Amino acid sequence: LAKTTQPISMDSYEGQEVNITCSHNNIATNDYITWYQQFPSQGPRFIIQGYKTKVTNEVASLFIPADRKSSTLSLPRVSLSDTAVYYCLVGDDAAGNKLTFGGGTRVLVKP
Amino acid sequence: KAGVTQTPRYLIKTRGQQVTLSCSPISGHRSVSWYQQTPGQGLQFLFEYFSETQRNKGNFPGRFSGRQFSNSRSEMNVSTLELGDSALYLCASSPQGTRGYTFGSGTRLTVV
């Protein structure tokens, strides 16, 4: 699976938009980009997945440029409850569940 | 619908003992995978089972094993426990061929 690089931590304030960028220079043609959210002592929770351009759901947007070597997770108007670790994963997980998690980005939302 | 259920939630074992953890996937999900999470190593893939067969395996010693039953429920076993096996063990399930896996809340194992 392609290795990913993302910031270790980010601070934000309630109501702001948080953008987390993930680099994945050696992404393969069949790879998808997936983001998970994890709260302490809980399992990761699927947020969003995309292949190219832009994907939006009720909680986040995912922006993927044409070369697909990076992606940006956008969390609109964050609240205190969005404080968590966010993981960017790249791979073709339809071929079986063998997800490779990096270190993730610890997002702290302040009041 | 019910999520992924892991039991027990917490467990304390002594070094040298063995332990069995259980995972009940979401109804209809045939793939069950296991992960170990520690502060030092982060989230690491252990193995995946699909239709009672191990389909993928991570880089863990043979002390870590698992199995899947015909109803898709899965168990993982760790023998000869070491202090370093203390971790949060997570199970994830998915239907065949879909992306985005659902994780359980995990079993917190402490080895003393």
Which pLDDT value is given to residue B1? 64
Give the minimum alpha-carbon distance from B105 to chain A in angstroms, rounded to a whole number: 5
Q: What is the mean pLDDT of residues A15-24?
A: 96
The percent of residues above 90 in pLDDT, for chain A, comes to 75
Q: What is the pLDDT of residue A95?
A: 61
What residues does B93 pair with on adjacent strands?
A: B32, B102
Q: Residue A40 domain-assigned?
A: yes
Boundaries of domain holding A49: 9-110
* Ramachandran bin of A53, using left for φ above 0, alpha for ψ from -120 to 50, beta for the remaining angles: left
Considering the domain boundaries, does residue A3 fall inside one? no
In a domain, A96, yes or no: yes
A94 inside domain: yes
Q: Would residue A1 count as lying in a domain?
A: no
Q: Would the pLDDT of A102 be above 90? A: no
Domains of chain A: total: 1
CB contact under 8 A, A101 and B42: yes
> Does some domain include residue A13?
yes
| Cβ partners under 8 Å of residue B61, min gap 6 | none
* Interchain pair B45, A44: CB under 8 A: no
Q: Which stretches of chain B score pLDDT less than 70?
A: 1, 97-99
**pLDDT digit string, tens, across residues A54-98:** 999 999 999 999 999 999 999 999 999 999 999 998 887 666 667
In a domain, A2, yes or no: no
Contact B55, B61 (CB under 8 A): no
Chain A environment of B104 (Cβ under 8 Å)? 43
What is the pLDDT, as a whole number, of residue A16? 97
- Asked whether the beta carbons of residue A98 and residue B90 sit closer than 8 angstroms, the reply is no
Q: What is the CATH number of the domain that holds A31?
A: 2.60.40.10
What's the distance, CA B38 to chain centroid?
A: 14
Average pLDDT of the residues of chain A: 91
Is A44 an 8 Å CB contact of chain B? yes
User: Of the candidates A12, A41, A26, which has an alpha carbon nearest to the alpha carbon of residue A105?
Assistant: A12
* A-B Cβ pairs (cutoff 8 Å, strict): 65
Quick one: pLDDT at residue A97? 64
Helix or strand holding residue B50 (H, E): strand B42-50
Instruction: Give me the phi and psi of A62, to 5 degrees please.
Output: -125, 120
Per-residue pLDDT at A99: 76
Whether residue A37 is predicted with pLDDT greater than 60 in this model: the reply is yes
Tell me which residue in B42, B101, B105 faces A97 most closely, judged by beta carbons. B101
Q: What is the pLDDT of residue B80?
A: 97
B45 in contact with chain A, both atoms CB, cutoff 8 A:
yes
Closest CA–CA distance from residue B44 to any residue of chain A (Å): 7
Residue B99: which of A32, A45, A87 has the nearest Cβ? A32
User: Which of B20, B36, B35, B53 minimizes the C-alpha distance to B101?
Assistant: B35
Residue A2's pLDDT is 57
